[in-house]
Chains A and B, each alone.
Chain A
Amino acid sequence: MTIITQTNLTRRNMVLGGATTLALVPLATPVLALSNGQASGHVDKVVAAINKVIASGKSESNMIKDFEKIFVKYSDVTYLASYALGVDGRRASSAQKRSFAKAFQGYIARKYGKQFRSFIGGRLVVEKSKTIKNHVEVETIAHLKGQAPFEVTFYVSDKSGRVLFYNLFIEGVSLLLTERTEIGSMLDKRRGNLDQMIKDLKSAG
């Protein structure tokens, strides 16, 4: 059974929102561990951390190091890496998987960190959240200078044992799917050579 609850969340009614969510969960289904409020709170923290780095005025390479830390702290990087590797992960040794995950987290920090430059002077505002099956979708609106506002949505879950985001959509474009396609293309170009792909990923993005 799918439970869909939707609340317009602001920091003020977050506690109330969380309570409403619990009240709406039918008794027959297992109680969801993660509330909408917790998920929005998590995204608020991510947004605050990103804004802090942007406002720091550090050099780009130092900002990218900070972004990598944010990815590691707030997102499920192990899962992101495993999804991006897709079916090719089945033939990877655990050492290859580990070094891929390490290279991948640096790669996304570089690739997406560079794009955050356009966020200077802008802000990301948490709008609403809804529970879909076992995860919470937190919708934020990016307000950038000289641009119409656009939607950035985070998928948040606590299945890993910690509250983490495990996908994000920028105007409907999924990070997971985009990176699975990209890693697949990188592998194809290297005739499926995992080690070569991992080596090149360390400097990609």
Chain B
Amino acid sequence: MMVVVIAGCTAPTPKAINDPNEAGNRRTHEANRRVDRTMLKPVSGAYGNALPAPVRQGIGNFASNLNLPGVIVNNLLQLNIDGAVKNSWRFVINTTIGIGGIFDPSSSIELYEDSSDFGETLHVWGVGEGQYVELPFVGPSTQRDTVGMVVDVFTNPLTFGAPSPEKYMGPVVKGLSKLGDRYTYSSTVDSVLYESADSYAQSRLMYLQNRRFQLGQDPAEQDQGEDGYDDYYAD
């Protein structure tokens, strides 16, 4: 059961790690690792070898362009007008000059995506991150971000409510784009999942730090800020 408190302002910076369901999460993590080892990694390897880099890049670009209207909806829900305007320009330019989003001319004029999702919208509305969870097939998340992920199925006007054959395009392209990412960042993913002494603890720590950073929560304000460098050289 999740308690949602709308405080009307950005949720405070969480300290440390809130993971009361660690045992269950670790079981999910092991299952996810099995899925990665037996399916995702080999399939992404085949995908990466079959398609040249520019084609994979094009599919990745297309998927993120398709996702952009949903991002803009979230920018607006957070009253991030600047982000919404930037992303709208990006969408217009990449959809037209970038031929339906296959190319990314926006980035060459330094118009990058102001990335967002409904998890961030909840954060801006004052919802705390809740417990850490590892989701089957998805990986690291928090209670708040899990809710956000579900809501985001409906925030994108381009994919939600599209007519029949088109509505499958979004998920298919997204899936291919994920395969491409698994291939491109293979050595980084492998280093966390298979070379670490405790891949669960590493992915949990990295996810939480990175997510809090995305949400503009200063690492120095998190519990980790106390690096004690001055004390080390005190006296």
Binding site for B on A (CB under 8 A): 79, 82-83, 111, 114-115, 117-118, 132-135, 146, 148-149, 151, 155, 157, 159-160, 166-167, 169, 171-174, 176-178, 181-182, 185-186, 188-189, 204-205
Query: In the assembled complex, which residues on chain A have CB atoms less than 8 Å from the CB atom of B205?
Result: 173, 177-178, 181
Shortest Cβ gap from A153 to chain B (Å): 8
Query: In the assembled complex, which residues on chain B have CB atoms less than 8 Å from the CB atom of A160?
Result: 233
Binding site for A on B (CB under 8 A): 53, 57, 107, 112-113, 115, 184, 187-188, 191, 195-198, 201-202, 205-206, 209-210, 212-214, 219-220, 224, 227-230, 232-233
Query: In the assembled complex, which residues on chain B have CB atoms less than 8 Å from the CB atom of A132?
Result: 220
Query: In the assembled complex, which residues on chain B have CB atoms less than 8 Å from the CB atom of A118?
Result: 187-188
Interface residues of chain B: helix, strand, loop or mixed (majority): helix
Contact present for B57 and A173 (CB under 8 Å): no
Shortest Cβ gap from A182 to chain B (Å): 6
Least CB separation from B187: chain A residue: A114
Inter-chain CA distance A149–B227, complex, in Å, is: 27
Contact present for B197 and A182 (CB under 8 Å): yes
Among the listed A114, A177, A189, which residue makes an inter-chain contact with B224, where contact means beta carbons less than 8 Å apart?
A177
Contact present for A172 and B227 (CB under 8 Å): no
Among the listed A135, A146, A169, which residue makes an inter-chain contact with B57, where contact means beta carbons less than 8 Å apart?
A146
User: Can you add 19 more A-B contacts, CB < 8 Å, to A83-B228, A155-B229, A182-B197?
Assistant: A83-B227, A117-B187, A132-B220, A134-B230, A135-B230, A148-B113, A167-B227, A167-B229, A172-B209, A172-B213, A173-B213, A174-B209, A174-B219, A177-B224, A178-B202, A178-B206, A182-B196, A185-B198, A188-B197
Inter-chain CA distance A157–B231, complex, in Å, is: 13
Inter-chain CA distance A171–B230, complex, in Å, is: 24
What are 30 A-to-B residue pairs whose CB atoms are below 8 Å?
A83-B228, A114-B187, A114-B191, A117-B187, A118-B187, A132-B220, A135-B230, A146-B53, A157-B229, A159-B229, A159-B232, A166-B229, A167-B229, A169-B219, A171-B210, A171-B214, A172-B212, A172-B219, A173-B209, A174-B224, A176-B224, A177-B224, A181-B198, A182-B197, A182-B198, A185-B198, A189-B197, A189-B198, A204-B195, A205-B195
Query: In the assembled complex, which residues on chain A have CB atoms less than 8 Å from the CB atom of B187?
Result: 114-115, 117-118
Q: Give the A-B pair count, Cβ closer than 8 A.
A: 89
Least CB separation from A172: chain B residue: B213
Contact present for A155 and B202 (CB under 8 Å): no
Contact present for A172 and B214 (CB under 8 Å): yes
Contact present for A185 and B230 (CB under 8 Å): no
Inter-chain CA distance A157–B228, complex, in Å, is: 12
Closest CB pairs A-B (n = 4) = A172-B213, A185-B198, A185-B197, A159-B233
Shortest Cβ gap from A131 to chain B (Å): 12
Least CB separation from A153: chain B residue: B219
Among the listed A83, A173, A182, A185, which residue makes an inter-chain contact with B210, where contact means beta carbons less than 8 Å apart?
A173
Contact present for B112 and A148 (CB under 8 Å): yes
Shortest Cβ gap from B157 to chain A (Å): 23
Query: In the assembled complex, which residues on chain A have CB atoms less than 8 Å from the CB atom of B210?
Result: 171-173
Inter-chain CA distance A129–B201, complex, in Å, is: 31
Inter-chain CA distance A82–B231, complex, in Å, is: 12
Shortest Cβ gap from B188 to chain A (Å): 6
Query: In the assembled complex, which residues on chain A have CB atoms less than 8 Å from the CB atom of B228?
Result: 83
Shortest Cβ gap from A77 to chain B (Å): 13
Inter-chain CA distance A79–B231, complex, in Å, is: 11
Query: In the assembled complex, which residues on chain A have CB atoms less than 8 Å from the CB atom of B212?
Result: 172
Contact present for A176 and B227 (CB under 8 Å): yes
Contact present for B213 and A149 (CB under 8 Å): no
Contact present for A111 and B232 (CB under 8 Å): no
Query: In the assembled complex, which residues on chain A have CB atoms less than 8 Å from the CB atom of B227?
Result: 83, 155, 166-167, 176
Contact present for B219 and A79 (CB under 8 Å): no
Shortest Cβ gap from B109 to chain A (Å): 13
Inter-chain CA distance A201–B120, complex, in Å, is: 38
